[in-house]
Structure 1
Amino acid sequence: MNRLEREAATRRIMERTPPPVPPDLYGEVLRRGGRMLRHRRRARRLLWLLLCAAAVAFTVWAATAHPWVEPPSTTTPPIVGW
Structure 2
Amino acid sequence: MLEQAPPPVPPGLYADAVRRGGRLLRRRALALRLFWLLAGAATVALTVWALTTRPWAEPPSVTTPPLTGW
| Length-normalised TM-score, structure 1 | 0.73
Query: What residue in structure 1 maps to residue 46 of structure 2?
Result: 58
CA shift at 1:15, angstroms? 3.5
Deviation at residue 23 of structure 1 after TM alignment: 1.3
Identity among equivalent positions (%) equals 63
Structure 1 unaligned residues grouped into runs of 5+? 1-12, 78-82
Equivalent residue of 2:50, what SS? helix
Matched, 1:42 2:30: yes
Q: What runs of 5+ residues in structure 2 fail to find an aligned partner? A: 66-70
Structure number with the higher helix fraction is 1
Aligned Cα RMSD in Å? 1.3
Instruction: Give the C-alpha shift of residue 17 in structure 1.
Output: 2.7
- Alpha-carbon deviations, 1:35-81, whole Å to 9, x = none? 0100000000000000000000000001111111000111216xxxx
Task: Please give the residue correspondences for 1:1-82 in structure 2 after superposition, counting only pairs within 5 Å.
Answer: 13-76=1-64
TM-score, structure 2 as length reference: 0.84
The whole-number CA distance in structure 2 between the counterparts of 1:68 and 1:16 is 74
Question: Across the two proteins, how many residue pairs are aligned to each other?
Answer: 65
Poorly superposed stretches of 4+, deviation over 3 Å: 13-16
